[in-house]
Each structure stands twice: as structure tokens, then as C-alpha cells.
Structure 1
Amino acid sequence: MKLKTIFLGLEAGGRSVVIMNGDDAERLGVLALGRVTVRLDGIVKTAIVNTSTEMIEPGRIGVCKRVWEGLGLADGSEVEVEVAPFPDSIYFIRNKLDGRKLAFDEVLEIVEDTVAERLSDVEITAFVTALHSFGLDLDEATNLSLAMIKTGRTMKLDGGPIVDKHSIGGVPGDKTTLLVVPLVAAAGLLIPKSSSRAITSPAGTADRAEVLMPVGLDLEEMRSVVEEAGGCIVWGGSVHLAPADDIFVRVEYPLSIDPLLLPSIISKKRAVGADLLVVDIPTGRGAKVKTIGEANLLAKDFMEIGSRLGIRVQGAVTYGEQPIGRAIGPALEAKEAMEVLMNRPGPRDVAEKATAIAGILLEMAGREDGKALAEELLRSGKAEQKMREIIEAQGGDPEVLPEDIAVGDHKFTVRSDRSGHLLWINNSSIAEVARFAGCPKDEGAGILLARKIGDAVEEGDPLFTIFAERGNNLQRALDRLEGLRVVGVGDGMEMLIHEVKERPVAKRSFTLDR
């Protein structure tokens, strides 16, 4: 069937989508969410079909941005549209929905069809949901990792060993990577760090780093920075290490599930050639992982899947019951990280965690007393110097100072209405308030804690300050604050957590940041 194109101007979530007139679709024999091939001058794109009897007139086809650019279309271009067959991967997804174990070839075909956009969002959702419902054993996790590596880009660096670190996330204010990368690189090791942007948190590592330097480097630029400075901090989405994972995340996020945690992390580390990897597993009431026992089991799985892909993995079970440091939000966290690197007075936990994780990597690479070495690199200023080298290599200002970093000029300080000690901080509530204030899109938005757990508090003392770049966002954050229990102040831990007077709806906090 020949149809003339109309540009819809839709991103369509980065997917290949077309809209056909309902009568044309019926004549072609395709239903909504079916597939068609769109052909022009020998170039073919497969797209998912939606139908409309009012938006699109007969003889025309509405095309989203991805198909438009892929075929080099102009308004009114005449294209050949044909029904596309269902890919075999749909039958493999159906097998997983029945609880069957998938072989490597089946997993690979699902991932290839996902990346090539031959699967609809419904079919991808079915696959991710099946992984969540039935689980995936280590064989399947390994196969998924290998498939994601094969369908993405990889990087090869000369020298070694190549080291890396990753946090499973869940704790606000965790700017540890901004210290670990320069600490490890200052010791002479190579650390090509690709990081995520925030999905559900106030700031991802890429968001924090972008305050200091460009992070949207391509793979060749990433390699060049590592060869020059020994390390980098770039946004993983720009280097396309595992494009399938970026698609799967779009399904996981609205469903608040994360079945692909292991293969997602390990595939990206293998793609940059990592030989040694530390996985940071924050643990506690306010974290993803609640108990040390669960953390140990997760570390065991990471170690096993890592060994299968040629990566030596070690877990770091870390304290996750309150934010790391005092700053939450991209600019506030970048500012705090630079203050720690410059040995200015600040929260002890940031430097403590960073030197502990860097120390593990250094010892895995054969250095003795890694934590002491990391502490010396920090104290001597060598880590700061290395960070400035990385900032310059990535196109930032190497002379940047903490006071140069702008934060939101709309702010409100929350004060204590009683005396005692700070007993607890609700991580998910703090993160939610920060996002209402504008994080992570507004770099200057966030929260600065005045007290941490265990600190003495007098009535009227500041507990935390909310920053926003716009007054309406500050008001949104304050309105949301009214319905949340963010911190607890008292003389001792209260035994009653809360009363249940009505039938509760079971909800759990969910953090998805890779």
C-alpha cells in the first residue's frame, strides 16, 4: 500500500510509531499495536501501528520523529507500507510468561528485537513483568548480560587493570562517585565510570557531575578522557553501552519493579572492559536492601555473575539509613563533593565512605592498606588535583570552586518544634520533597540538612533547608512536606510507629537509578 507521509512531531518515547487511518489499516489487514514496514528508496523501518479515523485521512500516514529521521522523509513523501510479520521473540516471551527458563539464543533474540524496535511496548512490558513474576536465575541473568553487551557498544582500553564501582542506589545525597573516581585515578588506576541520570531520586551521579563538567560524551570522547586523565564520569545514555536496558527501564519505572538489576549493572561494566568491580549495597531501613543478610546474598549473586563474565567483583555493604553527607540535589551535592576534595570542614561520612570504597578497589588491584592510601591521596590534595584534570578533560572549568556553584535562591528552613536528638530521617520522604522542589531538572534545587541522626537538637533549631530555583516549586515542596514524616526528634526512640485505623493500601518506596 502506498501512502503519503505526515510528520507528527512526536518523540513517541524514542520508539518507532506510525498512525494510520482506520480504514487504510483495515484494508492492509493490520490492527492497532500491530507492525508495519515503511519503505522508501530501499530503506526500511519497522514501526508499531496506532489508528485514527479523525487525525489521519485516508491515503496518509502519520510518522513519529524516529521513523521520519530514519527514512529521511519530507512532508508528502510516498512510502510503501506493508504488514510486518510477528517476530519469533514474542513466542519466547510467551514461554517466560508460562514460567519456562529461556536459553541464550532466545534471550538474545528478545533483546535484539527490543533494540531494533520490532517489539511493542506491550510485549516488552510482558517480558519485564514475567522476569519480575517468575524471577531469573543466574544462567538467565548471565545470558541477559551477554545479550545486552552484544547489542550495545564496547570500549577497549590499553593497560590495566580497569576498575569500576557501582551503587545500587536508594540513599539520597550519595555523591561518593565524585570522590572515588579521582581517588582511584590519582593512584594510577584506570576507572572509566559511566553513570545514570536520576530516574526516581533527586540526583543521579551524571546529574551531579554535570554541574562541574559536560557528561554527554560519546564513546570515543570517553576513551580519550580516560587515556588523558585516568578516569571519567560520563552519562551512560550518551555512550550507548546497553541500549536495551534504557528501554527496559521505561517499563520498570511505572511498575516500580527492577528485575534486571544484576544484568543491567554487569553488562555495562563488562562493556567498558572492567576487570575489577566494587558494588556498593546501601543497607538499612531507608535503603533498597533492608538487612545485612539480604545484602550479603545480593553481593554473592553479583560476584557469581561477575565471575562468569570475567569480572572480579566484591560487595561493599554500606550504611543506608540516612542521606550521605548533608547535601541533596545536583548543585548542592557537587558543591559538597568539591568541599570534601579540598579538605574543607564538612560531613565526615562522605569522605569515610569514599575512601572505604576506593580502598577496596586499590587493594583488589594489589595495593596494600588501600583505605590508608585513599585517605592520604585525599589529605595531600592529589585527589582534588586529579578531579580538576578530569573536569578539564571533559570540557569543564578546572578552576571551579564550591562557592562558584549556584544553588536556588528560593529557600525555606524547617525548624524543630521540640528538643532532644535527631532519631531518624526518612530517606524516601527527603527525596520526594527534593523532587517537588525541582530536582533533578533544576540543578540548584535540593535540601541541605542541618542535623544528622544522633545530633542534639534544641527547640527552634534548624533541621533542614529546602532550596528551589522557582518560588512555585518551593511552595509545592512545602505543600508536600505537610503530608510527610521526614525526620523524628525526641528523647528516645518511640515504640509506636503509627496507628492503622483504616484498611491500608500496601505501598513501598521505590528507587530505580542505574
Structure 2
Amino acid sequence: MGIDTHQQPVVYIRSDCHVAIAEGFNAHAQVEIRTADAAVVAQLVLVTNERLSHEQAALSEAAWQALGCPVEDEIAWLHHAAPVESMSYVRGKLYGQRLDDNSAAAIINDINAGRYSDIQLSAYVAACTGERLDVNETIAITRAMVDSGQRLRWANERVLDKHCVGGLPGNRTTPIVVAIVSANGVLMPKTSSRAITSPAGTADTMEVITPVQLGFEQMQQVVHDVGACLAWGGSVSLSPTDDIIIRIERALDLDSEGQLVASVISKKVAAGATHVLIDIPVGPTAKVRSDDKAHKLRQLLERTGAALGLDVRTVITDGSQPIGRGIGPALEARDVLQVLENDLHAPQDLRQKSLLLAAQLLEMSAVAEPGKGLELAERTLLSGQAWQQFQRICQAQGGFSRPAEAPFKHCVHARHDGVVAYFNNRFLARLAALAGAPNAAQAGIDLHVRLGDEVRAGAALFTLHAEAAGELAYALDFLDGHDDVIRIEEELTC
């Protein structure tokens, strides 16, 4: 039918079809569809449209792909899907029972096999949300997620990776760090997720510049040729369950500390990393809002990583305001390119943070001596080596292109004189998302001020970008009821 249902397979049949009547199918039932060569569990939608005959079933794009793109008029068998036995563990978890290796593996395997409906997936996400998973449960889920997909293995003794736990708009350090570190001969096969609750993930931003949907063999070839990649993890089936869960977390706007850790560590293990640096931004409106929470998350990441053979180190950073000027795929891509090209207009906070993270990775890889990593990172960036390496990565992945600008813009100005005293990161992220990011790659926010800046009434605070007039209007409606996105406080005079 050419209908995009994202990752959820859907099958459409007529409500008066003899199969529907004989099998007792109800709308939204989970049904198993089998052809001679493949099978998929799909959600059933009953239609009265006469476009379908009594002997036809139509498929959404996700179901069509899952069945291997069968030819039209191929025979298919439809049955009630078998009950999902692992849901008993999810229900148990909702009532306070703990998950062990067996129950975690059963749940993850069923999710990966497509046996969970979106309603059942929502129950699993809710069962794990907040801090409801302890360290042993987190390790069990992480191990199950690694086992559910393919796993890359490299000959190098040290394979580096980095990650940010998120919650801070902008902060697109990864492409810069990968370019600097891999330019020094360190293997860095970087896979990233798409956005969950933010206006852009690294994969969304990189997709503006170069293809990120690399197959398993293609990713291996890219890393073999240039020593690094910047790919979307979902395209190489590394911890594939993670992307299914992310889709539900995004829809519910929920995050789980344990699931976050399982997501991060499982993908690092599956990508073949040996040493990982994880950035934990802390701020009043970041994902992690206190030092106590940050230290707890640090312990959970390090213990889970160690249980799966990873050397995980963390760095707690300032999350009080966005990093860089751009929020949204294209605007963040612009910031990344400005830093790599040593542009005088590059955001200096993004440049400095990227250098500090790259310095730690260079020291972890033993390419730089302790205390010498920053000097090497700066030299690599200033000499143009990082920019050249970034271009090599992009060409190996399928080409390089520069981000375009959105056709619709609206500048928001200060209403009075004062000093920029506060950024509401959550509201900024929501505003960018309402403008269309990340699905509309050019949408987002371009910031014009930083904390501590003195501004006059009428000064530009930020510019909203949108690809459609309706999306811009939608974002402005939200902004109209939220005056605390950026707070300007009057200066106190003695």
C-alpha cells in the first residue's frame, strides 16, 4: 500500500473477508503472516475499502520489507499470533519483581523478533522507566541486547568510542572528536542513535552531511579503509532491539536510566569497542540534574561496562546551557563543519569541549602520554588533519554535502535590558522539535546569546528555523505561553 508506519508492520484486510470471519480477527489484533519464504507478526487493520478484494491482504512498508518484498499476488497465510509468553515478566516487573538473565533475554528476544505490539512495548518501557532497574537487571538487559544482533570484531588491541547521555541541546561533539582521534591512527568505529526526546541525535546530524545507513559489511569496509565511521547503529543491526525501544520512548517522552545504560553499553560492545569515554552533562534542565544523579549514573555505566568487558570512563560536564549555536540537524551540522574547518565564526564552546574529550580519548588510546592529549588534539585540529580525515570518512560512506538553510525563520528578541541568566534546555529542545526537528532536518533554533551576555531590549536572542510555515506557527504558539525559555535578569547596581 506504500503506507509508512515507521517500524511497526501492519496488515490491512477487509472486515468482511472470509479469512477475517473464519479466524475471528479483530481490529488491532496481532496476526502472523507467512509466505513461502518469510514470516512477520503484524498489527491487523480492518478496512471497508473496496480497493481490496476478499482474497487480498495489503501491507505497510515495514511489513512489506520484513517479508522480503514479496511479489504481488503471492500467496500468504494469516493466523493469530502466538501469545507472547515473556509479557508475564513485564507484568511481573510492573508489580515489583526483578528481571534476571533468563527473563531479560526472553523479553529482548521477543521484542527483536517483532512479537511485541506497540502497546506491549509501551508496558515494557513503563516498567523500566526512571530508576526501576538495578545494576544486575541493567547488566542482564545489556547482555541480552548485545546477543540479539550482530557484533563487530577488530584485530586492534584498543578500539575507542565515545558517547553522551544526552539531554543537552546542540553538544554535537562526536563528529569532531572522531575526526581528531582517528586522524591520529586510532580505530574508532562510531555508531550513533537517532534522537529520542531531543531535536537531533548524532545520526540525524551526520545524515545532513553524509549517508549514515551503512550495511554491516559496508561499515566494516569504511572502517578498514579510513579507520573510523559515523554511522547509524540501527542500519547495521548492532543491538537492534534498542532502536525499537527508542521509537516507543520517543513517543512517550520517557527515559529509563537502566535502559539508557543498556542502550549505550550494548552498542559499544556490539561495535567492538574496548575503551569508551562517556560525557554526562549536568544542569538544572539537563537530563541529569544533580551531581548525585551524575555519580550514580557514572557507577552504573562503569559497572555495566566492566561486566561486559569494556573499559568505561566518564566525564561530568556543564549542562547549564546548550553547546554550540545550532539546535537541530542542519544547524548542528553547520557548527560541526565550522569547528573542523577552523572557521573564525565557529562556536568556541563546542570547539573547546570537543578538544577536551578528544584529548582524553587520545590518552586512553596511549597515542598521547598522560597530560599531553590536549596538545595533540589542538595540533590535529589546527593543522587541518581532522578536517581532512572527516572528509575521508564522509567520502567512504557515500559522499559529502553541506547543510541547507530553512526557508522560514522568525527571530525572537529580548523584551528588556539585562543579563542572560538562564536557559531552559528542555523548553529549547521542545521548541526546536515543534518547529519540525529532527524529521525536518533544516528546522531548529539558532542561538545568538550565551550565559552572562549583556543584552539590550530588542537584541536578538535566537532565531527559529522551519521548513514549513505551519510548523513555524506551531512552535511560535508554544513559545507564546513559555516566557522562561531564556531568562533575562536586570543588572543590580550598587
Do the structures match in fold with TM over 0.5? yes
Q: 1:252 to 1:12 in 2, by over 3 A?
A: same
Q: Provide the C-alpha distance between the structure 1 equivalents of 2:420 and 2:353, rounded to a whole number of angstroms.
A: 21
The Cα offsets for residues 396-441 of structure 1, whole Å up to 9 and x where unpaired, read as 23xx7xxx64322433332223222111122122223323333223
Q: Does 1:14 align with 2:15?
A: no
Worse-matched range after superposition: 287-296 or 420-429? 420-429
Residue 90 of structure 1 corresponds to 87
Q: Give the AA of the match of 2:114.
A: E
Secondary structure of the 1:128 match is helix
Secondary structure of the 2:129 match is helix
Q: Give the AA of the match of 1:372.
A: E
Structure 1 residue 377 displacement after superposition: 1.8
Worse-matched range after superposition: 263-272 or 50-59? 50-59
Residue 272 of structure 2 corresponds to 273
Structure 1 residue 66 displacement after superposition: 4.2
Residue 81 of structure 1 corresponds to 78
1:437 aligns with one of 435, 438, 441? 435
Structure 1 residue 48 displacement after superposition: 4.1
Q: 1:470 to 1:375 in 2, by over 3 A?
A: same
Secondary structure of the 2:76 match is strand
Q: Does 1:365 align with 2:365?
A: yes
Q: Provide the C-alpha distance between the structure 2 equivalents of 1:439 and 1:255, rounded to a whole number of angstroms.
A: 17
Q: Where in structure 2 are the equivalents of 1:193-204 lying within 5 Å? A: 193-204=190-201
Q: Where in structure 2 are the equivalents of 1:400-479 lying within 5 Å? A: 405-479=403-477
**Are the aligned partners of 2:196 and 2:247 in contact in 1 as well (CA < 8 Å)?**
no
Q: Give the AA of the match of 2:452.
A: G
Q: Provide the C-alpha distance between the structure 2 equivalents of 1:473 and 1:92, rounded to a whole number of angstroms.
A: 41
Structure 1 residue 483 displacement after superposition: 1.8
Q: Where in structure 2 are the equivalents of 1:304-319 lying within 5 Å? A: 304-319=303-318
Q: Does 1:205 align with 2:205?
A: no
Q: Does 1:109 align with 2:102?
A: no
The Cα offsets for residues 352-387 of structure 1, whole Å up to 9 and x where unpaired, read as 211111122122222322223222222232222222
2:23 aligns with one of 28, 34, 46? 28
Q: 1:78 to 1:144 in 2, by over 3 A?
A: same
Structure 1 residue 271 displacement after superposition: 0.4
Structure 1 residue 303 displacement after superposition: 0.2
Secondary structure of the 1:440 match is coil
Q: Provide the C-alpha distance between the structure 1 equivalents of 2:478 and 2:153, rounded to a whole number of angstroms.
A: 47
Q: Does 1:262 align with 2:261?
A: yes
Q: 1:97 to 1:32 in 2, by over 3 A?
A: farther
Q: Does 1:253 align with 2:256?
A: no
Q: Provide the C-alpha distance between the structure 1 equivalents of 2:471 and 2:118, rounded to a whole number of angstroms.
A: 32
Q: 1:291 to 1:64 in 2, by over 3 A?
A: same
Q: Provide the C-alpha distance between the structure 2 equivalents of 1:84 and 1:458, rounded to a whole number of angstroms.
A: 64
Structure 1 residue 81 displacement after superposition: 3.3
**Are the aligned partners of 1:45 and 1:71 in contact in 2 as well (CA < 8 Å)?**
no
Q: Does 1:356 align with 2:353?
A: no
Structure 1 residue 72 displacement after superposition: 5.4
Q: Give the AA of the match of 1:226.
A: V
**Are the aligned partners of 1:407 and 1:443 in contact in 2 as well (CA < 8 Å)?**
no
Structure 1 residue 268 displacement after superposition: 0.5
Residue 38 of structure 1 corresponds to 33
Q: Give the AA of the match of 2:339.
A: V
**Are the aligned partners of 2:411 and 2:461 in contact in 1 as well (CA < 8 Å)?**
yes
Q: 1:41 to 1:157 in 2, by over 3 A?
A: same
Worse-matched range after superposition: 313-322 or 436-445? 436-445
Q: Does 1:382 align with 2:385?
A: yes
**Are the aligned partners of 2:331 and 2:446 in contact in 1 as well (CA < 8 Å)?**
yes
1:396 aligns with one of 377, 396, 399? 399
**Are the aligned partners of 2:146 and 2:270 in contact in 1 as well (CA < 8 Å)?**
yes
Residue 294 of structure 2 corresponds to 295
Q: 1:350 to 1:60 in 2, by over 3 A?
A: closer
Q: Provide the C-alpha distance between the structure 2 equivalents of 1:220 and 1:297, rounded to a whole number of angstroms.
A: 37
Q: 1:28 to 1:293 in 2, by over 3 A?
A: same
Q: Give the AA of the match of 1:16.
A: P
Cα RMSD (Å) of the superposition?
2.7
Q: 1:98 to 1:364 in 2, by over 3 A?
A: same
The Cα offsets for residues 21-54 of structure 1, whole Å up to 9 and x where unpaired, read as 3775464355555544434436544444455678
Worse-matched range after superposition: 75-84 or 323-332? 75-84
Q: Provide the C-alpha distance between the structure 1 equivalents of 2:204 and 2:122, rounded to a whole number of angstroms.
A: 27
Residue identity (%)? 38
Q: Provide the C-alpha distance between the structure 2 equivalents of 1:159 and 1:81, rounded to a whole number of angstroms.
A: 48
Q: Provide the C-alpha distance between the structure 1 equivalents of 2:302 and 2:10, rounded to a whole number of angstroms.
A: 40
Q: Give the AA of the match of 1:123.
A: Q
Structure 2 gaps, min length 5: none
Structure 1 gaps, min length 5: 1-7, 494-514
**Are the aligned partners of 2:197 and 2:253 in contact in 1 as well (CA < 8 Å)?**
no
Q: Give the AA of the match of 1:347.
A: P
Q: 1:32 to 1:459 in 2, by over 3 A?
A: closer
**Are the aligned partners of 1:160 and 1:189 in contact in 2 as well (CA < 8 Å)?**
no
Structure 1 residue 314 displacement after superposition: 0.8
Residue 480 of structure 1 corresponds to 478
**Are the aligned partners of 1:196 and 1:204 in contact in 2 as well (CA < 8 Å)?**
yes
Secondary structure of the 1:14 match is coil
Q: 1:75 to 1:219 in 2, by over 3 A?
A: closer
How many corresponding residue pairs?
481
